[in-house]
Chain A
Amino acid sequence: MATNPQDEFSVTGSDQAAPSGVGQILRAARERTGKDVAEVAILLRIRQPFLQALEEGRHRDLPGGTYAIGFLRTYADFLELDGEEMVRRFKQEASDDLHPRSELVFPSPVSEGRIPNGALLVIGLVLAGAAYGGWYWLNSHNTTVAGTSTALPERLMSEFSRPASLTADKAASAKPDEAGQAKPDDGQAKPAADAAKSAEAPAPAPAADQAKAEDRGPEDKVAGNVAPPAAAESGAAKPIPAPADAAKPAEPATPEVAPAGAAEPEPAKPDAGKPADAAKPADAPKAEPAKVTQAPPPAAPTAASPAPADGGGSRVVIRAAADDCWIQVREMDGQLLASKLLHRGEAFSVPNRPGLTLTAGNAGALAISVDGKTLPPLGAIGQVRRDISLDPAKLPPAP
């Protein structure tokens, strides 16, 4: 230090508050050299206002921290003062006004002021949900439930049929499943018998009974015409061909549509007694095997009945004869009518409407019959066939 700042006189009131202020020392040193600020500014190339601000301690008028300190160091070195010491003091004095560590805020593109991302996401999700819901609603309202729903496994059905509160309706729909997969063995026959029992328990039981009696009529005829085991196996598909055999196409249809109304059709009567008998022993746990084989078939017609019910007696019936097969039936305008898996032995009666098309996942397993005449298979086992017209006229003729 070349001078002792305490000996120097103070110039302004503000300097009195800081007698050893950096500005004061600078001014004193400059005055000793006999130069004025303008001269120094030209020599140091530092603008005069900045030098004055340094001398007067107006830290806010100086450019940013680094520059102010650089100017001070240059000025102090020029005045032959200890630059580093002056910088140290200056930093102490100006710690409030100077921020040597300038805040760095990089310019970033202005956001376009649209919907924020979070809201966009939520709206997108809601829209997606709405679209799915709408699609689901449309689809579920245009197809019949009977056409699209697949049958419940029999294990569950036997569970369901136990509670007595179940209506005969449910019991009746339970039976088709068993009948569909029915094979003449004891294990499956017994649940069927149970189902029959529970069906008889509630109020509608008499009606159900009657229906059974009627259904048995044609079935027994079939049994008469065809070999009984075959009838038992293909119970679901046969009832329609059966009336054709009997040369009474209209009559069996009516019992199916309104089972309760047409109570006693002629052909049914003579045989009705026997299956009824057969069913009753089946109620009792110890059913004879021969009778058990007959017990499922009575249920079979009811299985077929819901589907043709809206068609009013369909001409074309698709039956999964050789194996399980997935089928899809579409309307003329491409609308889905049915899409289901036909288990072996199950049948699907096609409504009598023009322009229906069939897609089959296992064409060889299907047996299509028109008016009771079985057509040649559509393809090999495992072959997929699409867009087969189901118009009776367009199907290949029966052999």
Chain B
Amino acid sequence: MVNAYPRTLKDALTLRAEGRRPMGGGTDLMVRFRSAAGVLPRFQQSLVFLRGVDELKNLEERGDLIAIGAGVTLRELCESPLIPVVFKNIMGQMASFAIRSEATLAGNIGNASPAADSLPFLICRNASLVLTGQRGDRTVSVADFITGPGKTLLADDELIREILLPREEFTLSFHKKVGGRRSDAISKLSFLGEARREGNNLFDLRIAFGSVAPRIIRSEEGEALAREVFSRGGNTKDIEGFYEKLITPIDDQRSTAEYRKTVSLNLLRRFMEKLREQ
């Protein structure tokens, strides 16, 4: 049962320390624990509902960072001038308008699904999280925070307080979500490639794959290889060969492992082609 509705972060942390599970918009949890028609969801532990905590609703620039409070919804992010367009487009393809109006970015991270659509972007951009507990705050990168499907570093008495997104410029951002339909779909796979190229100089290149392994795939070694291949005008096949080993998808009700792998590599190739054409 949801029976804790704190108004302050302090109260929320006290309730959290009692062993309650945090709930943001509830758009994942309400579905996961759904029951027969007309029966309340069967949560396995008590919840603390964070919607009423105004301290978690901050959204502002902070030096080189954009700070996004854990209570900010996807819709609010999509409507904010602070958020990079590529990320707005990614979030705009998540679920439906109604769900985006309830769901929080922190919830999408905390749920730690390998198919979470915000993660490839946040990991590509080296975003980090401020975790807060009664013992104080700590900062951890999103990449480190998620340790496996549904598994995170969040301690039993901690909450995600905010997401810190570095402000960066790229000359190319190529994102593709592949789902069963254009909206209201869970990704079969997703790809994000970003680069900063000025003339023949490639200053930055980042690549992330979603939904094709237990965790989001991002590899410094792969990115270094991609930069190197780009500089010498080499064959993209080498990069594909590298990532092929990291991409370990599954067959499920939404797609096949073969499809996920093949299309992921096709999109990587398309990204490298776009980079060349730039």
* B partners with A: no
Interface residues of A (CB under 8 A from B): none
Interface residues of B (CB under 8 A from A): none
